[in-house]
Amino acid sequence: MTVTSPSTGSGIDARACAELWRRVQIRLTDGEPLATQGQFLAAIEAAYLEWKGKVPTPGVRRHLRHHVRQVNEERPETYLALGVQNAVQQAFAHGVQSLHWEVARVEQYGAASIRTFLHQEQVADYLVAHRLDAAHIDVHACVRHGMSWAKSNPRPKIANRKRQPTKAMLPQDACPTGSRVV
Protein backbone atom coordinates (compact mmCIF):
# COMPACT_ATOMS: atom_id res chain seq x y z
CA MET A 1 0.00 0.00 0.00
CA THR A 2 1.50 3.34 -1.02
CA VAL A 3 0.38 6.57 0.53
CA THR A 4 1.53 9.75 -1.09
CA SER A 5 1.92 13.15 0.40
CA PRO A 6 3.12 16.38 -1.12
CA SER A 7 6.55 17.51 -0.10
CA THR A 8 6.61 20.09 2.64
CA GLY A 9 9.23 22.20 4.28
CA SER A 10 9.46 19.59 7.02
CA GLY A 11 11.73 17.35 4.95
CA ILE A 12 9.20 14.54 4.47
CA ASP A 13 8.40 13.77 0.86
CA ALA A 14 5.96 11.28 -0.65
CA ARG A 15 8.59 8.53 -0.86
CA ALA A 16 9.50 8.96 2.80
CA CYS A 17 5.83 8.91 3.85
CA ALA A 18 5.27 5.75 1.83
CA GLU A 19 8.24 4.09 3.55
CA LEU A 20 6.99 5.11 6.99
CA TRP A 21 3.49 3.77 6.28
CA ARG A 22 5.01 0.54 4.94
CA ARG A 23 6.72 0.10 8.30
CA VAL A 24 3.51 0.89 10.18
CA GLN A 25 1.70 -1.66 8.00
CA ILE A 26 4.20 -4.32 9.07
CA ARG A 27 3.43 -3.56 12.71
CA LEU A 28 -0.28 -3.81 12.00
CA THR A 29 0.16 -7.09 10.14
CA ASP A 30 2.10 -8.39 13.15
CA GLY A 31 -0.98 -7.67 15.30
CA GLU A 32 -0.10 -4.41 17.01
CA PRO A 33 -3.23 -2.64 18.25
CA LEU A 34 -3.18 0.90 16.86
CA ALA A 35 -6.55 2.49 17.43
CA THR A 36 -5.82 6.09 18.39
CA GLN A 37 -4.11 9.09 16.87
CA GLY A 38 -1.48 8.89 19.61
CA GLN A 39 -0.75 5.22 18.95
CA PHE A 40 -0.38 5.82 15.22
CA LEU A 41 1.81 8.85 15.81
CA ALA A 42 4.06 6.86 18.17
CA ALA A 43 4.28 4.04 15.60
CA ILE A 44 5.14 6.34 12.71
CA GLU A 45 7.69 8.23 14.83
CA ALA A 46 9.27 4.90 15.81
CA ALA A 47 9.35 3.97 12.12
CA TYR A 48 11.06 7.29 11.38
CA LEU A 49 13.65 6.70 14.11
CA GLU A 50 14.29 3.15 12.89
CA TRP A 51 14.58 4.28 9.26
CA LYS A 52 16.53 7.52 9.67
CA GLY A 53 18.39 6.69 12.87
CA LYS A 54 17.33 9.92 14.53
CA VAL A 55 14.38 11.33 16.44
CA PRO A 56 12.04 13.44 14.28
CA THR A 57 12.46 17.18 14.68
CA PRO A 58 9.48 19.21 15.93
CA GLY A 59 8.70 20.22 12.32
CA VAL A 60 8.80 16.62 11.11
CA ARG A 61 6.72 15.55 14.10
CA ARG A 62 4.11 18.21 13.28
CA HIS A 63 3.98 16.98 9.68
CA LEU A 64 3.66 13.35 10.79
CA ARG A 65 0.84 14.23 13.22
CA HIS A 66 -1.04 16.03 10.44
CA HIS A 67 -0.37 13.21 7.97
CA VAL A 68 -1.58 10.48 10.37
CA ARG A 69 -4.76 12.44 11.07
CA GLN A 70 -5.36 13.04 7.37
CA VAL A 71 -4.83 9.41 6.32
CA ASN A 72 -6.98 8.00 9.13
CA GLU A 73 -9.78 10.53 8.52
CA GLU A 74 -9.83 10.24 4.73
CA ARG A 75 -9.27 6.48 4.48
CA PRO A 76 -9.94 4.85 7.86
CA GLU A 77 -10.28 1.43 6.25
CA THR A 78 -6.65 1.57 5.06
CA TYR A 79 -4.79 1.39 8.39
CA LEU A 80 -7.12 2.31 11.23
CA ALA A 81 -9.50 -0.61 10.61
CA LEU A 82 -6.70 -3.15 11.02
CA GLY A 83 -5.38 -1.37 14.11
CA VAL A 84 -8.85 -1.46 15.67
CA GLN A 85 -9.26 -5.10 14.67
CA ASN A 86 -5.97 -5.87 16.42
CA ALA A 87 -7.26 -4.10 19.54
CA VAL A 88 -10.49 -6.14 19.40
CA GLN A 89 -8.47 -9.36 18.96
CA GLN A 90 -6.33 -8.46 21.96
CA ALA A 91 -9.39 -7.63 24.09
CA PHE A 92 -11.07 -10.88 23.04
CA ALA A 93 -7.96 -12.94 23.87
CA HIS A 94 -7.86 -11.25 27.28
CA GLY A 95 -11.51 -12.21 27.79
CA VAL A 96 -10.80 -15.79 26.73
CA GLN A 97 -7.99 -15.86 29.29
CA SER A 98 -10.03 -14.26 32.08
CA LEU A 99 -13.00 -16.56 31.52
CA HIS A 100 -10.79 -19.65 31.08
CA TRP A 101 -12.47 -20.50 27.79
CA GLU A 102 -11.31 -23.60 25.99
CA VAL A 103 -11.05 -23.83 22.20
CA ALA A 104 -14.52 -25.36 21.79
CA ARG A 105 -16.12 -22.54 23.76
CA VAL A 106 -14.25 -19.89 21.75
CA GLU A 107 -15.42 -21.59 18.58
CA GLN A 108 -19.01 -21.79 19.80
CA TYR A 109 -19.46 -18.34 21.35
CA GLY A 110 -16.60 -16.22 20.00
CA ALA A 111 -18.24 -14.63 16.96
CA ALA A 112 -21.41 -13.71 18.87
CA SER A 113 -19.35 -12.29 21.75
CA ILE A 114 -17.31 -10.12 19.41
CA ARG A 115 -20.38 -8.89 17.52
CA THR A 116 -22.02 -7.99 20.84
CA PHE A 117 -18.85 -6.14 21.87
CA LEU A 118 -18.76 -4.19 18.58
CA HIS A 119 -22.35 -3.06 19.11
CA GLN A 120 -21.90 -1.85 22.68
CA GLU A 121 -22.62 1.85 22.84
CA GLN A 122 -19.08 3.02 23.61
CA VAL A 123 -17.50 0.85 20.89
CA ALA A 124 -20.21 1.66 18.33
CA ASP A 125 -19.75 5.39 19.04
CA TYR A 126 -16.00 5.04 18.53
CA LEU A 127 -16.53 3.29 15.18
CA VAL A 128 -18.98 5.97 14.00
CA ALA A 129 -16.67 8.79 15.12
CA HIS A 130 -13.83 7.27 13.09
CA ARG A 131 -15.98 6.47 10.04
CA LEU A 132 -15.56 2.74 10.50
CA ASP A 133 -18.29 0.18 10.18
CA ALA A 134 -18.36 -2.95 12.34
CA ALA A 135 -18.05 -4.82 9.02
CA HIS A 136 -14.47 -3.46 8.76
CA ILE A 137 -13.57 -5.76 11.66
CA ASP A 138 -12.96 -9.35 10.60
CA VAL A 139 -14.83 -11.15 13.38
CA HIS A 140 -13.64 -14.56 12.21
CA ALA A 141 -10.00 -13.43 12.34
CA CYS A 142 -10.62 -12.33 15.94
CA VAL A 143 -12.13 -15.73 16.75
CA ARG A 144 -9.17 -17.51 15.12
CA HIS A 145 -6.84 -15.38 17.25
CA GLY A 146 -8.80 -16.32 20.39
CA MET A 147 -8.72 -20.00 19.43
CA SER A 148 -4.98 -19.79 18.84
CA TRP A 149 -4.55 -18.23 22.27
CA ALA A 150 -6.72 -20.92 23.90
CA LYS A 151 -4.73 -23.68 22.15
CA SER A 152 -1.38 -22.29 23.27
CA ASN A 153 -2.61 -21.65 26.83
CA PRO A 154 -4.74 -24.67 27.67
CA ARG A 155 -6.78 -24.60 30.81
CA PRO A 156 -5.13 -26.81 33.44
CA LYS A 157 -6.96 -30.06 34.04
CA ILE A 158 -7.84 -30.90 37.62
CA ALA A 159 -7.68 -34.68 37.80
CA ASN A 160 -9.25 -36.66 40.61
CA ARG A 161 -9.43 -33.65 42.87
CA LYS A 162 -11.74 -34.29 45.79
CA ARG A 163 -14.06 -31.53 46.84
CA GLN A 164 -13.31 -30.01 50.19
CA PRO A 165 -16.12 -30.90 52.56
CA THR A 166 -18.48 -28.06 53.32
CA LYS A 167 -20.24 -27.58 56.62
CA ALA A 168 -23.42 -29.02 55.12
CA MET A 169 -21.55 -32.20 54.13
CA LEU A 170 -20.07 -32.83 57.58
CA PRO A 171 -21.71 -35.10 60.13
CA GLN A 172 -23.40 -33.31 63.03
CA ASP A 173 -20.69 -34.27 65.50
CA ALA A 174 -17.95 -32.78 63.27
CA CYS A 175 -19.37 -29.26 63.66
CA PRO A 176 -18.09 -27.00 66.41
CA THR A 177 -20.18 -26.93 69.56
CA GLY A 178 -23.11 -24.62 69.30
CA SER A 179 -23.21 -24.55 65.50
CA ARG A 180 -25.86 -26.17 63.39
CA VAL A 181 -25.65 -27.91 60.06
CA VAL A 182 -27.53 -25.92 57.51
**pLDDT string in tens for the chain (182-residue length):** 444 344 344 568 899 999 999 999 999 999 999 999 999 999 999 999 999 999 999 999 999 999 999 999 999 999 999 999 999 999 999 999 999 999 999 999 999 999 999 999 999 999 999 999 999 999 999 999 999 989 988 776 555 445 554 444 444 443 444 444 33
Which runs of consecutive H residues, i.e. helices, occur in the chain? 14-29, 37-52, 58-74, 80-99, 103-118, 121-129, 139-152
pLDDT in tens, 9-61: 456 889 999 999 999 999 999 999 999 999 999 999 999 999 999 999 999 99
pLDDT score, position 12:
83
Global confidence as pTM: 0.76
pLDDT score, position 172:
45
Distance CA 118, CA 116 (A): 5
